Amino acid sequence: MTRAYAEEVIAARAVVRVENAQYIRESSNDTHPYRVRTALVRGTHDNVPDSDTFEAGWGSAACDYGFAKPEPGDIYALYYWRRADGSLAVWMALPIDEARLSDPRGDTLLRSSR
């Protein structure tokens, strides 16, 4: 994550509450993809959306976060990158405890999340 900050990949961050998480395909080999809908708790940029979605569970470390499907009410940190058109898109989603461990900024955005 330090490299992502240094290369300015991360354009904004948000702390969100999971509203809904559901599997979107049947399990196959090492995949069991799911989609998560979230609601904003707080963010670091004016354009961070009030609600957003991300997907995970697609398998292998190269294309998955490696965390179990969250439950409604779970708190996550979303990291956004900026698309060519200027809009924000979820680059990475981490459970808040994992974000606290791996985010080198360790700022107040991640400290208080309830």
Other beta carbons within 10 angstroms of residue 56's beta carbon come to 21
Q: Which helix (H) or strand (E) holds 4?
A: helix 2-6
Q: Do strands 34-43 and 12-23 pair parallel, antiparallel, or not at all (unpaired)?
A: antiparallel
What predicted TM-score, i.e. pTM, was given to this entire model?
0.84
Place of tokens 């995970």: 56
Q: What's the whole-number average pLDDT of the chain? A: 86
Query: Does 60 score more than 70 pLDDT?
Result: no
CA angle 15, 75, 5 (to 5 degrees): 40
Q: What is the pLDDT of residues 6-45, one digit of tens each?
A: 778 899 999 999 999 999 876 666 777 899 999 999 998 8
Q: What is the pLDDT of residues 66-99, one digit of tens each?
A: 678 899 999 999 999 999 999 999 999 999 999 9
Q: How confident is the model at residue 58 (pLDDT cuts 50, 70, 90)?
A: confident
